[in-house]
Structure 1
């Protein structure tokens, strides 16, 4: 089982590595000014699967800065005056781009000029709730902003088949972007864990540091595989509902297996205690790089799967009263 999973993961890494090489790197022509700042440091971050990761920094001298870093373009980047956090999100291309920060020294209100894709990005944010994914893509199928929006904002509500249909609307020139690559992989993974299919095994770490195998917890009834995090308000709001279901049905063949996307162990443990989550909990403490949600094609949390004693997925993303009703039908 594990050897097969390792081979699949290795194949995915090889494919993604090939795609990354196919995206040529181009030196940035990015410069800017920050009013009333004589000196300091500004950080450049690349957007990578929901996270901004610092890739370079430069000094602010007499209020001016510039980056000539060779990076994949066009792409979404972040700028910040602090080593942590992202203050400005900006789509950069191979054209000279200028950023002007006012006397408030707040990058979030900076003026950005020169980048075609940033102008489109700012326009999209103002109209996002008025457009369907297909409508936005069809406005400009060559737009990397459209690929980003499909990945970041629209894919949550799409089935695997619908994801593929929307990807087909994008121009082939976007096939090497991270957004298309991730969505293709996501559609395949989500299709594999639709109700009726076999659950996927994995190993993670419990609060005591023990390695826990998920399949060791199957076979005695129904198990809710629950993806959550202490930093996630909707997850914390849903936890009382799961606690209620657990205590009502734990003696009738119902259990919960929690997988946290936390990064900080103490915050994770505090959330477990505060919410009284009295079932098995594991975490890689790796945020969105956690293995289990990636295997199950999880795009948002809270997210869950109900799995029967034979390891077959019965339902996906059942919350609130829907979870209570389903368990009543199965166990009462």
Structure 2
């Protein structure tokens, strides 16, 4: 056995051990799925630049459901990756300017990056994945069809905003309601068409009506293997998080009543499921607290976390507490991303994703985003990054 092959086996064994410690490995590891990725970079359609993706650059396969990162270097504008996974898995193929989601099973994948000029001074890389993977192609087809339904609904919303006729406004109100019901029905039909499947467990947590009441029957139909996988655990934790609607409405009401400019009292949990309340008592322990909003599925957020790690000594020296607030839908993806990225600061979440009352109160349209809070719980800055953040830290006495 070669030294590199031995290292690969040891690396995968270590990843499996991490999963078991997290309680995420209740899978029959003897039935491994083998995937293969062939990558190609085409820089011939645009002007050459020293910043081109090319030889010696690193490609990272960053798994979303496993504590694992595979890496390879580009050689002759190509790369090759292969490996084994315990069950169908999601990952990001990351390169220095971006990334692309890929769903892996026992299949081969052709991944291409083609550089295209935007104008005389700017270029971009277009990505494409070709595969016969049922897992990947079912997901891609689902979101293509969903996008059409969402576009129809958004067109109705836009038309409704521009009408002044009462009858037209009433028509659009009914039409929008019907369009939303159509999207919900689309998810339910997908559940019916893909019973007891990993792809259903992966996709359905994004349903607009996802809740314990609406999807417990779907969860109950999953096999033990699916229930004990990342997807099953994530599915279950999302249902539990949405189970108590009264508490959720109470939280929304309390946040809505917060005085302008103040950080609302927010009930969260950490990755060990301990209750953490973000309130005046919490903020009073430090000069400032920087709340960084991120999610496991947000590539730019993950890269930003790497930059923040380099600043941890400065935060500590200036008595600035750094807190990560995850906008993930379930605890499993959040835990795995935190372990993969080796984040040393406090991590909290309300597991509400984009429906988080806090995210809505702060009107977070995109992430990464952050707020800087003083001892009194007052929001003093928003979206403070890079040079602005460094300048602020230097000015803290």
Q: TM-score, normalised by structure 1?
A: 0.54
In the other structure, the counterpart of 1:299 is 353
- In 1: Cα distance, 2:104 partner to 2:81 partner: 12
- In 2: Cα distance, 1:38 partner to 1:195 partner: 52
Residue 69, structure 1, aligned to residue 86, structure 2: no
In the other structure, the counterpart of 2:192 is 138
In the other structure, the counterpart of 1:45 is 62
In the other structure, the counterpart of 1:111 is 129
In the other structure, the counterpart of 2:104 is 92
In the other structure, the counterpart of 1:183 is 235
In the other structure, the counterpart of 2:213 is 161
Q: State the shift of 1:318 in Å.
A: 9.5
Residue 262, structure 1, aligned to residue 316, structure 2: no
- C-alpha change, 1:16 and 1:125, in structure 2 (3 Å) is farther
- In 1: Cα distance, 2:125 partner to 2:143 partner: 17
- In 1: Cα distance, 2:224 partner to 2:54 partner: 45
Match of 1:56 among 70, 91, 108: 70
Q: State the shift of 1:149 in Å.
A: 1.4
- In 2: Cα distance, 1:88 partner to 1:319 partner: 29
In the other structure, the counterpart of 1:81 is 95
SS of the equivalent of 2:25 reads helix
RMSD value, Cα: 4.6
- C-alpha change, 1:146 and 1:16, in structure 2 (3 Å) is farther
- In 1: Cα distance, 2:279 partner to 2:209 partner: 24
Structure 2 stretches of 5 or more lacking a match? 1-17, 44-52, 117-122, 150-182, 263-277, 283-290, 295-303, 309-320, 328-333, 335-345, 364-397
- C-alpha change, 1:132 and 1:166, in structure 2 (3 Å) is farther
Q: Is the 8 A contact 1:58 1:65 kept in 2?
A: yes
Q: Is the 8 A contact 2:27 2:225 kept in 1?
A: no
Residue 124, structure 1, aligned to residue 124, structure 2: no
Residue 17, structure 1, aligned to residue 15, structure 2: no
- C-alpha change, 1:95 and 1:291, in structure 2 (3 Å) is same
Q: Is the 8 A contact 1:133 1:166 kept in 2?
A: no
Aligned length: 231
- In 1: Cα distance, 2:86 partner to 2:324 partner: 29
Q: State the shift of 1:22 in Å.
A: 1.5
SS of the equivalent of 1:66 reads strand
Deviations along 1:105-162, one digit per CA (max 9) or x if unpaired, are 96653132232211111111111244532211212224433221112x21x5333222
Q: Is the 8 A contact 1:163 1:183 kept in 2?
A: no
Deviations along 1:32-71, one digit per CA (max 9) or x if unpaired, are 212246512211111249xxx8712101111211112333
In the other structure, the counterpart of 1:309 is none
Q: Is the 8 A contact 1:27 1:69 kept in 2?
A: yes
Q: State the shift of 1:192 in Å.
A: 5.6
Deviations along 1:263-319, one digit per CA (max 9) or x if unpaired, are 689x9xxxxxxxxxxxxxx863253556553xx543335426xxxxxxxxxxxx999
- In 1: Cα distance, 2:188 partner to 2:212 partner: 15
- In 1: Cα distance, 2:54 partner to 2:27 partner: 40
Q: Is the 8 A contact 1:93 1:117 kept in 2?
A: yes
Q: State the shift of 1:78 in Å.
A: 0.8
SS of the equivalent of 1:109 reads strand
- C-alpha change, 1:303 and 1:166, in structure 2 (3 Å) is farther
Structure 1 stretches of 5 or more lacking a match? 1-12, 200-221, 227-237, 247-255, 268-281, 305-316, 321-332
Q: TM-score, normalised by structure 2?
A: 0.46
- In 1: Cα distance, 2:253 partner to 2:322 partner: 17
- C-alpha change, 1:106 and 1:123, in structure 2 (3 Å) is farther
